[in-house]
Chains A and B, each alone.
Chain A
Amino acid sequence: MHNDIVMVIVVGTALAFDFTNGFHDTANVVATSISTRAMAPRLAIAYAAALNFAGAFISLAVAATVASDVVSSGAITPTVVFAGLIGAISWNLVTWYFGLPSSSSHALIGGVVGAAFAAAGPDAVLGDGLVGKVLIPAVVAPIVAFVVGGLAILVSYRVVGRLKPGQVGRGYRLGQVVSGGLLALAHGTNDAQKTMGVITLALVTNGSLAAGADPPTWVIVSAASAIALGTYSGGWRIIRTMGSRIIKMDPAQGFSASGAGAAVILTSSHFGFPLSTTQVISGGVMGAGAGKRLSAVRWGVAGNIVTAWLMTLPAAAGIGALTYGVTRIFGTGSVGPIVVVAAALALVAAAFTRRVRAGTPVPAP
């Protein structure tokens, strides 16, 4: 009975994480299109949501577990997964509150690593996997995207620099619709699969599913729906940061950032080196700005984003570990997760109410 309740809570929390993932990372896909007026804001969001949903079905070769390379499988229990998800959701909401793009995948990995550490000690964390699969790509991705975005904008200005701005703008806006669509598909494929993997892992550890089994259809459909709904809700705060606070974008820069970003993400997927969508696009946007001129980039905003990147893993890990500790105060049953979920919902409601009373902070463009 207790196990079933914990499972329901874990599945609900995983879908809530998936929702925040779509909500939080919408900006990666649509910010450049909205900023350069390639698409109307609501249309861009609906387009991204539909492609996020479709992307979740494109490849069902589930990344078995997002945590399998960084945490010892013996340390993973439904409670560890739950605590990790709470860590990831919390960090996603904190960075959303401050309008900072950060990696939802890194938040999830950080949360699970912290919870596993709290549950089974340092031996539960696979250091080599953490460095090789997470930390090194986290450093490489934004640098590569920055340089590629910078070179791309130099190349495009070189080719179209003497043409009429109206024709050029229309062309790049059209290109952004396609490159943004590719980004949305890639995001749906990568990130919805992580949630499917987490739910499947929890079902296996609970004995509800055989080890190595494919995710059930209801898991695939619910994960695809949650990320699409989250995307449709639109994280306007981060969209504003990505679309206009880092640089003021022209259509060529918007295409260079999103086109180069899509190319970098898909190329890295092909070679089995998945990079963070958030970091690639943020790096691409900064590169596209710096390629025009260095002073075009608001480096203060860029610094805040980099700080959020650096803090994502340790902060989510800390919250995940704390959450695991709190649940264990109430024993190994379902009381701990129920108390944590109730407290988390109360905190979110209080923050939301406070925000509403203070007035709408960032209106939809």
Chain B
Amino acid sequence: MLATIVDTGALLKTIIASFIAGVGVTLIFSIAILGASRFADMNRDGRPAAAVAFGLLGLAALLAAGAAVAVGIIVMTRK
């Protein structure tokens, strides 16, 4: 009976997507912080190759986090 009242498909999609988006955004942003922090450390230690690698990692994660924010704003405007 509950299945006829509740759109279980939409509910399940919401739960799964919430997990992916919620944990995913935090993971991506944490990687951005890791990249930025290691970039600074490696630069200070005179290891330019590693610094560039971490810098690129951080930048890519930051861009991905920015894309997630843009998707969020698009979702709001299309409601």
> By the criterion CB–CB under 8 Å, are A59 and B26 in contact?
no
Residues facing B in A131-165 (CB within 8 A) are 131-132, 136-137, 140, 144-145, 147-149, 151-153, 155-156, 159-160, 163-164
Please indicate the chain A residues that have their CB under 8 angstroms from the CB of B79 in the complex.
59, 61, 189, 269
Task: Give B1-41 as 1s and 0s: 1 = Cβ < 8 Å from A's Cβ atoms.
Answer: 01011110011011101110111111101111110111010
In this assembly, does A270 line the interface, its C-beta being within 8 Å of a C-beta of chain B? Answer: yes
Q: Per DSSP, are chain B's interface residues mostly helix, strand or loop, or mixed?
A: helix
Residues facing B in A141-193 (CB within 8 A) are 144-145, 147-149, 151-153, 155-156, 159-160, 163-164, 167-168, 171-172, 175, 178, 182, 185-186, 189
Q: Which of B6, B18, B29, B38 contacts A132 (CB 8 A)?
A: B6
Please indicate the chain A residues that have their CB under 8 angstroms from the CB of B38 in the complex.
163
Please indicate the chain A residues that have their CB under 8 angstroms from the CB of B15 in the complex.
140, 144
Chain B nearest Cβ from A44, distance in angstroms: 18
In the complex, A137 Cα to B2 Cα: how many Å?
13
Total A-B pairs, Cβ < 8 A: 147
Please indicate the chain B residues that have their CB under 8 angstroms from the CB of A167 in the complex.
33, 36-37, 40
Report if A140-B11 is in contact (Cβ < 8 Å); known contacts: A155-B26, A156-B26.
yes
In the complex, A80 Cα to B69 Cα: how many Å?
40
In this assembly, does B46 line the interface, its C-beta being within 8 Å of a C-beta of chain A? Answer: no
In this assembly, does A4 line the interface, its C-beta being within 8 Å of a C-beta of chain B? Answer: no
Please indicate the chain B residues that have their CB under 8 angstroms from the CB of A137 in the complex.
11
Chain A nearest Cβ from B6, distance in angstroms: 5
Q: Which of B7, B18, B65, B69 contacts A267 (CB 8 A)?
A: B18
Residues facing A in B41-79 (CB within 8 A) are 65, 68-69, 71-73, 75-79
Chain A nearest Cβ from B10, distance in angstroms: 5
In the complex, A128 Cα to B77 Cα: how many Å?
29
Please indicate the chain B residues that have their CB under 8 angstroms from the CB of A159 in the complex.
27, 30-31, 33-34
> By the criterion CB–CB under 8 Å, are A58 and B21 in contact?
no
Closest to A152 in B: B26
In this assembly, does A309 line the interface, its C-beta being within 8 Å of a C-beta of chain B? Answer: no
Chain A nearest Cβ from B45, distance in angstroms: 14
Closest to A182 in B: B72
> By the criterion CB–CB under 8 Å, are B7 and A260 in contact?
no
> By the criterion CB–CB under 8 Å, are A144 and B18 in contact?
yes
Q: Which of B10, B25, B31, B69 contacts A260 (CB 8 A)?
A: B25
> By the criterion CB–CB under 8 Å, are A185 and B30 in contact?
no
Most central of B5, B32, B78 by chain A CB within 10 Å: B5
In this assembly, does A264 line the interface, its C-beta being within 8 Å of a C-beta of chain B? Answer: yes
> By the criterion CB–CB under 8 Å, are A185 and B32 in contact?
no
Chain A nearest Cβ from B1, distance in angstroms: 10
Please indicate the chain B residues that have their CB under 8 angstroms from the CB of A272 in the complex.
7, 10
Task: Give A117-133 as 1s and 0s: 1 = Cβ < 8 Å from B's Cβ atoms.
Answer: 00000000000100110
Q: What residues make up the interface of A, taking CB atoms closer than 8 Å to B?
A: 55, 58-59, 61, 128, 131-132, 136-137, 140, 144-145, 147-149, 151-153, 155-156, 159-160, 163-164, 167-168, 171-172, 175, 178, 182, 185-186, 189, 252, 255-256, 259-264, 266-273, 275
9 closest Cβ pairs, A-B complex = A171-B33, A148-B22, A260-B22, A263-B21, A152-B26, A159-B30, A263-B22, A132-B5, A264-B18
Q: Could you write out 18 A-B pairs with CB less than 8 Å apart?
A: A55-B76, A58-B76, A132-B6, A132-B7, A136-B2, A137-B11, A144-B15, A148-B22, A156-B29, A167-B40, A182-B69, A185-B73, A255-B26, A262-B25, A262-B72, A263-B24, A266-B72, A270-B75
